[in-house]
Chains A and B, each alone.
Chain A
């Protein structure tokens, strides 16, 4: 008889402990959830960033050395995609400062976009094959 009660007591103890652990796990999960929410988009961005680095690495090595100047022209023009940030800032009606900085960024980046693509086009148009 005594062994049976002992067993029952131990089972009860174990279940109480399990409940305690479950509660602990739940609290731990609750505590980390906001962190995970913050970390996840960052990890996603980091993944995409690293993948893009690899794509850039392989694509740029395949560029012929004769076109390294136009390569700088094009990369210069596309890095001005930062204009996107300027547009979003200029759209913000809440802060005049942000709007001013946004418009300035848009203007500077536009110089680069038009200038970069056009000067690259000029360079590339000069590269001609031997006639005949």
Chain B
């Protein structure tokens, strides 16, 4: 029976790898997701059959799956796509907490996992257990903070205080000491002390990180949830958990790396936090001797766009906040009827999680072959008649290429300034998240369209319909 379970776990591991592999193209991705579901089903059934549990245990497990499954189904079918980042953060916290609970179960009933008897657990298992526990607990409390910040229930502003990093480092050392003591003694008191300390540490690590850095944080917590699962896998000697944990851990780490590269910042810089907290100061100075900006009306914009040959839309998080994606697609449809070629350019860090803008555009029925990544579309701006920037700012700032003193210097940007005309839909002249002035506003080929992203685009649609 154990051999069959091992084979089932092997099959599930392969199916999980295929689920990730399917995501290399939208066409194969739906199939991939199904492989993932089948893999999970196999893993659960094989475990239940192999555990040799009594009837009471079986009922408890089915009840747990039924309750949890119903909650998950309801949430997943009701959630709005704009709220996806906070949903993912909330889900990460559940994985973290589940890891803590499994570690606790292994602590109180080690014989169920073949790692010893209560009070006498193997040293290596204790080490693995404390790692799974600590990472799980950090994932839990860190994800809760990320959720609160993304959901707007807590200010997105970085929370900073004196000696913050020294405190965190001190707590980290203390955690290490507790782990060593726990491995030496196996005391349940120490187990719970590690849990509490790790919960506190996860909380403290995420509060100094600003709202717009959350894409990195969410990716990183994704990674942590994988490492927590792998840690538990080592503890209970389960290969499926180890393999899956490694896959997820690697995935989250790669996404964090891509996000950091998109901002030209190191992961350390993001984790130390505080970025964007001095935005008011930087925005106040500097624009006194600038040429006045050119503001236009939606009618002007509609006229120019109608006569254009090629338009590139550059959406940012502001578009999602204004819920303007649907009306942007309507505008594109009308322009396409006029014979205009429309495509979309997505910056790697646009939105509040990796790939967020792509999902929002897909939800508004924008075909995915019209949506392009930065490297792919940047050469095309030179041939474009119009760049329509809606809800994006820092990711279009040419200062990133030229101004060495700028906070965003070196960040890869979308070369919108090469288009013949740039329309900037913006509520006012405030600077973006990085607190840097965008010199693009003052260029002769830029026209500002002041107002709410949705309202401005709606007015353009009305003008186009006339």
Instruction: Give A contacts to B, CB under 8 Å.
Output: 38, 41-42, 45, 48-50, 52-53, 55-57, 59-95, 97-99, 101-131
Residues of A within 8 A of B118 (CB): 95
Indicate whether A81 sits within 8 Å of B240 (C-beta atoms), given known contacts A67-B26, A114-B72, A127-B362.
yes
Alpha-carbon gap, A59 to B63, bound state (A): 35
In the complex, the answer to whether B57 meets A56 with C-beta atoms within 8 Å is: no
Alpha-carbon gap, A69 to B218, bound state (A): 11
CB < 8 Å neighbour of A72 from B94, B222, B230, B239: B222
Residues of B within 8 A of A124 (CB): 26, 29-30, 33
In the complex, the answer to whether B108 meets A98 with C-beta atoms within 8 Å is: yes
Sorted nearest first, the 3 A-B pairs with minimum C-beta distance are A110-B68, A68-B355, A56-B250
In the complex, the answer to whether A106 meets B234 with C-beta atoms within 8 Å is: no
Chain A interface main SS type: helix
In the complex, the answer to whether B112 meets A94 with C-beta atoms within 8 Å is: yes
A84's nearest neighbour on chain B, judged by CB, is: B47
In the complex, the answer to whether A101 meets B104 with C-beta atoms within 8 Å is: yes
In the complex, the answer to whether B362 meets A112 with C-beta atoms within 8 Å is: no
> B237 at interface (Cβ–Cβ under 8 A)?
yes
A-B pairs with beta carbons under 8 Å apart, 22 shown: A45-B242, A48-B239, A48-B242, A52-B247, A56-B246, A61-B254, A65-B358, A77-B40, A78-B19, A85-B238, A85-B241, A88-B112, A89-B105, A91-B52, A91-B112, A92-B109, A102-B102, A107-B68, A109-B98, A110-B64, A112-B95, A129-B367
Indicate whether A108 sits within 8 Å of B246 (C-beta atoms), given known contacts A59-B17, A71-B20, A91-B51.
no
In the complex, the answer to whether A119 meets B87 with C-beta atoms within 8 Å is: yes
A87's nearest neighbour on chain B, judged by CB, is: B47
Residues of A within 8 A of B30 (CB): 121, 124-125
CB < 8 Å neighbour of B101 from A38, A75, A86, A88: A86
CB < 8 Å neighbour of A78 from B36, B44, B81, B97: B36
Chain B, residues 444-458, CB within 8 Å of chain A (1/0): the string is: 000000000000000
Residues of B within 8 A of A45 (CB): 233-234, 237, 239, 242
Q: How far is the CB of A57 from chain B (nearest CB, A)?
A: 5
Alpha-carbon gap, A80 to B37, bound state (A): 11
Chain B, residues 343-371, CB within 8 Å of chain A (1/0): the string is: 00010100001111011001101011111
> B172 at interface (Cβ–Cβ under 8 A)?
no
Residues of B within 8 A of A60 (CB): 20, 247, 250-251, 254-255
In the complex, the answer to whether B56 meets A105 with C-beta atoms within 8 Å is: no
Alpha-carbon gap, A92 to B67, bound state (A): 21
- Total A-B residue pairs with C-beta atoms closer than 8 Å? 391
Residues of A within 8 A of B130 (CB): none
Residues of A within 8 A of B234 (CB): 42, 45, 49
In the complex, the answer to whether A80 meets B98 with C-beta atoms within 8 Å is: yes
A39's nearest neighbour on chain B, judged by CB, is: B124
In the complex, the answer to whether A114 meets B236 with C-beta atoms within 8 Å is: no
Q: How far is the CB of A81 from chain B (nearest CB, A)?
A: 5
> B189 at interface (Cβ–Cβ under 8 A)?
no
Alpha-carbon gap, A77 to B87, bound state (A): 12
Alpha-carbon gap, A120 to B218, bound state (A): 16
Residues of B within 8 A of A41 (CB): 237
In the complex, the answer to whether B24 meets A69 with C-beta atoms within 8 Å is: no
Alpha-carbon gap, A76 to B122, bound state (A): 31
Alpha-carbon gap, A97 to B75, bound state (A): 29
In the complex, the answer to whether B54 meets A84 with C-beta atoms within 8 Å is: no
Alpha-carbon gap, A119 to B48, bound state (A): 26
Alpha-carbon gap, A34 to B24, bound state (A): 46
Residues of B within 8 A of A83 (CB): 43-44, 47, 65, 98
Alpha-carbon gap, A50 to B242, bound state (A): 9
Chain B, residues 47-75, CB within 8 Å of chain A (1/0): the string is: 11001111011001101111111111101
In the complex, the answer to whether A65 meets B252 with C-beta atoms within 8 Å is: no
Indicate whether A82 sits within 8 Å of B232 (C-beta atoms), given known contacts A64-B25, A116-B72, A127-B29.
yes
Alpha-carbon gap, A86 to B79, bound state (A): 27
Chain B, residues 77-97, CB within 8 Å of chain A (1/0): the string is: 101010010011001101101
In the complex, the answer to whether A65 meets B247 with C-beta atoms within 8 Å is: no
> B326 at interface (Cβ–Cβ under 8 A)?
no
In the complex, the answer to whether B255 meets A115 with C-beta atoms within 8 Å is: no
Indicate whether A89 sits within 8 Å of B112 (C-beta atoms), given known contacts A75-B248, A78-B248, A130-B369.
yes
Residues of B within 8 A of A59 (CB): 17, 20-21, 247
Alpha-carbon gap, A81 to B226, bound state (A): 10
Q: How far is the CB of A47 from chain B (nearest CB, A)?
A: 10
